[in-house]
């Protein structure tokens, strides 16, 4: 899968160094797969939440962090919408947020 944009992951781990390894792991695994549907995502990462608008929430580092992506399976694209702590996640609307 192509992932847009790794910059958001880097910004998160620069702010929270403890999430660098798990975010790097998510990135490395996700860029090597060719998911065609959400079931394949769940096979790779069983603890995901499915939202509207093709959005998927990943629990990162034992659920200390959350990563929201928008998946375009036919185009093999994952757009990183937002990444942050679980506490920050509780303050946003995961269905609409888009960090630029």
- Say which CATH number the domain at 9 has: 3.30.2310.20
The DSSP call for residue 16 is -
Classify residue 71 as exposed, middle or buried by CB count within 10 Å of its CB (0-12, 13-18, 19+).
buried
Domain-located, residue 39: yes
pLDDT in tens, 14-47: 999 999 999 999 999 999 999 999 999 999 999 9
pLDDT in tens, 33-90: 999 999 999 999 999 999 987 999 999 999 999 999 999 999 999 999 999 999 999 9
Domain-located, residue 95: no
Domain-located, residue 25: yes
Kind of pairing, strands 65-72 and 48-50?
A: unpaired
Domain-located, residue 65: yes
pTM of the predicted protein model: 0.93
């Amino acid at each position: 899968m192509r992932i847009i944009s790794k910059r958001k992951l880097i910004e998160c781990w620069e702010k929270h160094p403890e999430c660098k390894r798990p975010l790097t792991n998510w990135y490395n695994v996700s860029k090597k797969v060719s998911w065609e549907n959400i079931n394949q995502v769940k096979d790779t990462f069983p603890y995901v939440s499915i939202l509207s608008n093709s959005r998927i929430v990943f629990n990162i580092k034992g659920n200390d962090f959350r990563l929201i992506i928008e998946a375009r399976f036919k185009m093999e694209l994952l757009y990183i919408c937002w990444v942050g702590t679980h506490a920050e996640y509780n303050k946003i609307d995961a269905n609409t947020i888009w960090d630029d």
